[in-house]
Amino acid sequence: MKDLKKIVEKDVFYKQQAPGVYLIVDAAGESGFYMKKTLGFGYTHILYKGENDTFEMNYSRKDLHRMKHIIKKKLEKDKDYFLKVRKLHEERFKKLHKEIQDKKKEASEYTDKELMKMFKLTKDLLTEGVGEGHMIEPFAIMHDHELRVDLAKHIKNIKELNRAINVLTTSSEKSFAGRQQEDLIRISKTKNKKERETELQKHLEKFSWIKNNYSGRYPLTMEEVEEEIKSLKKKKHKEEDIEQEKKDIIEKYKLPLKIITLCKRLVYLTNWQDKRKELILKGVEEFDIIIKEAAKRAGVKYELFKWASHEEVEKGLTKDYESLLEKRRKFSVLYRNSEDEIQIAVGEEAHQLNELMKSKEKKESKTINGMCASLGKVIAKVQICRDLDDIANFKEGNVLVTSMTRPEFVPAMKKAAAVITDEGGITCHAAIVSRELGIPCVIGTQNATKVLNDNELVEVNANHGVVRIVK
């Protein structure tokens, strides 16, 4: 057994937080370890904190720095390295997804042996959803600061610097959230009732997975699609030629090839990361169907079953596990490493590990500064979102403040006047969607959810990456 206290003491972590449960989150996270088999490098360990159907994934910063340098060397030897790895990632997912579809039937029709085989296959599909794409974080996160420093040598004005970063790292491709929005706009213009109904059904089938998240499957309904069409907003900004803007900035500031190449790679990773999210949500779609049936046969409540490890499920869970799973759901810390060792701490031990991790974070500041992810300036009230209930109850015109956004935050983001996050980098979900929605966004503040309170009036000046409480 590893001494988790010593592991935490020796490391510093980069955290990501969102709604989620161990059985699903850990399946996705495992890809960070099996990468070593396909790419020759991977993560050494990951720590998860679970609390009331939310999770916090803690990456080792040592791992992120180490892999950043490995990937840079790979790119020096082969400029098409990202393209080749992405092709490998998506082909592996496609092959496994087809195998599952070929064997698929109603969950209740599987024998116990078949159900367990499908449990392993769909768990592997979710792992493949992230797959080799787990290499995105070390490269993208670790280059945010480097890009800013390099650009600052050529662009002295902070507003122009932020605009340049914003433009140079924006993709001309729509995210899946953006594509869904465009499809809804198209359907809203269809006047023929029969054609409209047909198109609505196609939309429902095409985006059936879009509401899924790391806590489970949430099928998109026709009522939700029709309600979203009713609430479609007019575009807040005109469509611009982003590629021409990039050329103008490059020429104006005579930017060197090193910066141009890095920006192109970050844009490519932005697109890949968005596709990776789509694959993850499709993986959740298949895995959760099997989880529900397995929980039913084990006689364990579905909401508790999801706090087990996949090893425990494969060995056989019984109703006797419920009290332990309840403790994990309430508060726990899960550790997994590249040697496939797993430990789960609950109760006092979990709280001690959490306090130790928190003590290693930077000293909290009352000043809120971050990176500009989407330009703009607005004054509005704060609304902090931590879980699915907060997202569902988000009010139109408020500033969405959260640790970081994921696809399940999109309905709230569409209502938001601006977005502020603790974590995230240039390629993060908040940056992608905020730019598409045309709303100000400040990411990577580290402390927004700790400093700000619900209903506080704030000025979000994304042009300068600053958030100020209005007295």
pLDDT tens digits, 86-120? 999 999 999 999 999 999 999 999 999 999 999 99
Backbone φ and ψ for 79, nearest 5 degrees, come out as -65, -20
Q: Quick one: pLDDT at residue 363?
A: 61
β-strand pairing of 45-51 with 332-337: antiparallel
CA distance linking residue 375 with residue 266, whole number of Å: 18
CA distance linking residue 368 with residue 362, whole number of Å: 13
The whole-angstrom distance between residue 397's C-alpha and the CA centroid of its chain comes to: 23
**Residues 428 and 411 sit within 8 Å (Cβ to Cβ):** no
Q: Which helix (H) or strand (E) holds 101?
A: helix 81-103
| Residue 465, token pair as written in the block | 């990456």
CA distance linking residue 467 with residue 452, whole number of Å: 10
Q: Quick one: pLDDT at residue 233?
A: 62
Q: Quick one: pLDDT at residue 142?
A: 87
Q: Give the CATH class of 368-469.
A: alpha beta
Instruction: Map tokens 């599987």 to a residue.
Output: 110
Domain coordinates in residue numbering, the chain: 4-134+271-359, 368-469
Instruction: Map tokens 């999210």 to a residue.
Output: 277
Full DSSP string of 293-323: HHHHHHT--HHHHTTS-HHHHHH---GGGHH
Q: Quick one: pLDDT at residue 426?
A: 81
Q: Which residues pair with 336 in a beta bridge?
A: 46, 342
Q: Quick one: pLDDT at residue 429?
A: 87
Angle value at C-alpha 430, between 424 and 434, nearest 5 degrees: 145
With a CB cutoff of 8 Å and minimum separation 6, the contacts of 355 are none
Core vs surface per residue 326-349: b (16+ CB within 10 A) or e: ebbbebbbbbbbbeeebbbbbeee
In which region does residue 21 sit, left (phi positive, over 0), alpha (psi from -120 to 50) or beta (all else)?
beta
Q: Quick one: pLDDT at residue 237?
A: 44
Q: Which helix (H) or strand (E) holds 371?
A: strand 371-374
The radius of gyration of the chain from alpha carbons, rounded to an integer in Å, stands at 22
Backbone φ and ψ for 211, nearest 5 degrees, come out as -95, -5
Q: How far apart are the first and last CA of the chain?
A: 52
The whole-angstrom distance between residue 457's C-alpha and the CA centroid of its chain comes to: 27
Which of the residues in the chain have pLDDT under 50? 234-238
Q: Quick one: pLDDT at residue 1?
A: 60
Q: Which residues pair with 469 in a beta bridge?
A: 458
| Residue 39, token pair as written in the block | 């790419």
Quote the crossing angle between the two packed helices 112-130 and 31-39, to the nearest 10°.
70
DSSP structure class, residue 384: E
CA distance linking residue 21 with residue 54, whole number of Å: 7
Residues constituting the chain: 471
What is the Cβ-side half-sphere exposure of residue 123, based on CA atoms within 13 angstroms? Answer: 22
Cα–Cα nearest to 206, from 240, 238, 239, 183: 183
β-strand pairing of 13-19 with 54-60: antiparallel
Cα–Cα nearest to 268, from 35, 82, 65: 82
Q: Which helix (H) or strand (E) holds 442?
A: strand 441-443
Q: Quick one: pLDDT at residue 236?
A: 46
Instruction: Map tokens 């699609």 to a residue.
Output: 225
